A and B are shown apart, each in its own frame.
Chain A
Amino acid sequence: MFRRNFLGFAAAGLLALGAVGPAAAQDDFIIVQSTTSTQNSGLFDHILPMFQDKTGIEVRVVAVGTGQAIKNAANGDGDVLFVHAKPAEEKFVADGDGVSRSDVMYNDFVIVGPSSDPAGVAGMSDVSAAMAKIADTGAAFASRGDDSGTHKAELRLWEAAGVDVDAASGGWYRETGSGMGATLNTGTGMDAYIMTDRATWISFGNKGEYQIVVEGDDRMFNQYGIILVNAEKHPNVKSEQGQAFIDWVLSEEGQAAIADYKIDGQQLFFPNAG
């Protein structure tokens, strides 16, 4: 008796196991390794259904920091890489992990800060001067610190401003080691200045008393690139579907879809393929 009941228990467990099937029966999908900024801004939710309607290919987006996205793609865990760190992207292609790189779109970085503006940088358009001023006054600055595209761009700007942030780390310079959203949540919690891409900022829901304090410097240009992962090195890559996605994103239709995406009437990304 107890044996039979016990087997019943086990059978119930195995039944539950049987319920595990592939999430989607269809196999026609690609995985795009991309960044939190594109995901969190809602851009993918806007453009991907258009692509799927046209081609029947489902695009599954893994949104992580640019650094991790590139590493994942270099492991072959993705068909397309869609990030924003041009030097790292070029190295990815040079290493043979990617086929070739194309510009897709850009937006720009901005520095946001509390309305009290402790460093007095509000309205400045020279990013180097503004950053130097933040460093001089010792006002708090929250950095991603996660090797993401935004983080790399931020480090280049500190270097241009002649500020050694390594020395200040843990003092006024605070590395959260997190994604853009988490860094915004943390930074606003400690009245710190934060550099973010404009798209994430516009769509960010927890702005509080924060506003954009520094914008408009050419050096804060944020270029996105797209790369097909190299099937010669990673045989599992779905080159055909991946290339179809890239072709569409770079096509007039795809570029128009990107330009079309607005939040509160503001355009978030500016297509610049070709």
Chain B
Amino acid sequence: MSEPAIDIRAHSAVAPQPLMSARGVCFDAGGQRLIDGVDLDVLPGRCTVIMGANGSGKSLLLRLLHGLLTPSEGSIAWRGRPLDRAARREQAMVFQRPVMLRRSVAANLRFALSVRGVRGPERKTREAETLTLARLDGLKDRPARVLSGGEQQRLAMARAMISAPKLLLLDEPTASLDPASTLAIENLIAQARESGATIILVTHDAGQARRLGDDLIFLHGGRIAETGPVVRVLDAPRSKAAQAWLSGRLFVPNNP
């Protein structure tokens, strides 16, 4: 086994056990190797940002880490155990395009709890808390599918957070949102961290990466091109892939 691409232990006084470890993970589809030899450790409480060009394998990697896809080679461990359905229930994922059940806002939240067997008064309490947290109180009886894009993504975040997951996997959650909605989502992410969740965030937004992230993984062609603290990688990328990509990003006006 090669040395993990990200070793959070270097940044941390004590070295806690990784929440999640990937070793030599590859994923093939249609005769092509789309993820190639990824090693990483995710330590509890950190926010890891995954960046990279379109097609570099960010979303695939996220799905592999969530157990929605099975690696063609290599292995992923969750708290030292295999990544199975029970493990997945300790995680939650928000997709780029939120999938809303054809029910009310509140029923969408309840669903996430009821499939985990949370019922009765506890479900009521958590539903109310989460509605308030995501500022969805006024919308709770609305059909989820008539909400705006920003409101839907807020609901998707709330639905992911309501089960108090140990790990939140976020796939470009603000990709098509306006600044106000983006801010609302970022606030929710910050609140999730405060309550102890570990975050893995895929984003194209370097500003967002700086605001939220601790560590950065830069993917290129299904491989990890570079890893390191967010600020260091963004300010002084060492890999050619990250340099090229970031030089394109520098033209975005609001990028510091």
Q: In their complex, do chains A and B touch, with some C-beta pair under 8 Å?
A: yes
Interface residues of A (CB under 8 A from B): 1-3
Chain A residues whose CB sits within 8 angstroms of the CB of B147 once the complex forms:
none
Among all A-B residue pairs, the 6 with the closest Cβ atoms: A1-B107, A1-B110, A2-B107, A2-B103, A2-B111, A3-B114
Q: Give the total number of A-B pairs whose CB atoms are below 8 A apart.
A: 7
CA of A3 to CA of B114 in the docked complex: distance in angstroms? Answer: 10
Q: How far is the CB of A98 from chain B (nearest CB, A)?
A: 63
Chain B residues whose CB sits within 8 angstroms of the CB of A2 once the complex forms:
103, 107, 111
Q: How far is the CB of B195 from chain A (nearest CB, A)?
A: 26
| CB nearest neighbor in B for A3 | B114
CA of A1 to CA of B218 in the docked complex: distance in angstroms? Answer: 43
Cβ < 8 Å to A, chain B residues 99-125: 103, 107, 110-111, 114
| Listed A/B pairs (7) with beta-carbon separation below 8 Å | A1-B107, A1-B110, A1-B114, A2-B103, A2-B107, A2-B111, A3-B114
| CB nearest neighbor in A for B111 | A2
CA of A2 to CA of B102 in the docked complex: distance in angstroms? Answer: 11
Interface residues of B (CB under 8 A from A): 103, 107, 110-111, 114
A contact face: mostly helix, strand, loop, or mixed: helix
Chain A residues whose CB sits within 8 angstroms of the CB of B103 once the complex forms:
2
Q: How far is the CB of A9 from chain B (nearest CB, A)?
A: 15
| CB nearest neighbor in A for B106 | A1
B contact face: mostly helix, strand, loop, or mixed: helix
Q: How far is the CB of B104 from chain A (nearest CB, A)?
A: 9
CA of A2 to CA of B114 in the docked complex: distance in angstroms? Answer: 10
| CB nearest neighbor in A for B123 | A1
Chain A residues whose CB sits within 8 angstroms of the CB of B114 once the complex forms:
1, 3
Chain A residues whose CB sits within 8 angstroms of the CB of B111 once the complex forms:
2
Q: How far is the CB of A208 from chain B (nearest CB, A)?
A: 58
Chain B residues whose CB sits within 8 angstroms of the CB of A3 once the complex forms:
114
CA of A1 to CA of B110 in the docked complex: distance in angstroms? Answer: 8
Q: How far is the CB of B124 from chain A (nearest CB, A)?
A: 12
| CB nearest neighbor in A for B101 | A2
| CB nearest neighbor in A for B110 | A1
Chain A residues whose CB sits within 8 angstroms of the CB of B110 once the complex forms:
1
Q: How far is the CB of A8 from chain B (nearest CB, A)?
A: 15
CA of A1 to CA of B103 in the docked complex: distance in angstroms? Answer: 11
Q: How far is the CB of B250 from chain A (nearest CB, A)?
A: 49
CA of A3 to CA of B107 in the docked complex: distance in angstroms? Answer: 12
Chain B residues whose CB sits within 8 angstroms of the CB of A1 once the complex forms:
107, 110, 114
CA of A165 to CA of B51 in the docked complex: distance in angstroms? Answer: 88
CA of A51 to CA of B33 in the docked complex: distance in angstroms? Answer: 87
CA of A3 to CA of B103 in the docked complex: distance in angstroms? Answer: 13
CA of A2 to CA of B103 in the docked complex: distance in angstroms? Answer: 9
Q: How far is the CB of A80 from chain B (nearest CB, A)?
A: 58
CA of A136 to CA of B117 in the docked complex: distance in angstroms? Answer: 86
CA of A1 to CA of B109 in the docked complex: distance in angstroms? Answer: 12
Q: How far is the CB of A1 from chain B (nearest CB, A)?
A: 6
Q: How far is the CB of A198 from chain B (nearest CB, A)?
A: 65
Q: How far is the CB of A7 from chain B (nearest CB, A)?
A: 14
CA of A3 to CA of B111 in the docked complex: distance in angstroms? Answer: 10
CA of A2 to CA of B101 in the docked complex: distance in angstroms? Answer: 11
CA of A3 to CA of B113 in the docked complex: distance in angstroms? Answer: 13
CA of A219 to CA of B79 in the docked complex: distance in angstroms? Answer: 98
Q: How far is the CB of A46 from chain B (nearest CB, A)?
A: 59
CA of A1 to CA of B104 in the docked complex: distance in angstroms? Answer: 11
CA of A2 to CA of B107 in the docked complex: distance in angstroms? Answer: 8
Q: How far is the CB of B127 from chain A (nearest CB, A)?
A: 11
CA of A2 to CA of B115 in the docked complex: distance in angstroms? Answer: 11
CA of A1 to CA of B111 in the docked complex: distance in angstroms? Answer: 9
CA of A231 to CA of B127 in the docked complex: distance in angstroms? Answer: 70
Q: How far is the CB of B239 from chain A (nearest CB, A)?
A: 49
Q: How far is the CB of A163 from chain B (nearest CB, A)?
A: 70
Q: How far is the CB of A115 from chain B (nearest CB, A)?
A: 66
CA of A3 to CA of B110 in the docked complex: distance in angstroms? Answer: 12
Q: How far is the CB of B23 from chain A (nearest CB, A)?
A: 40
Q: How far is the CB of B106 from chain A (nearest CB, A)?
A: 9
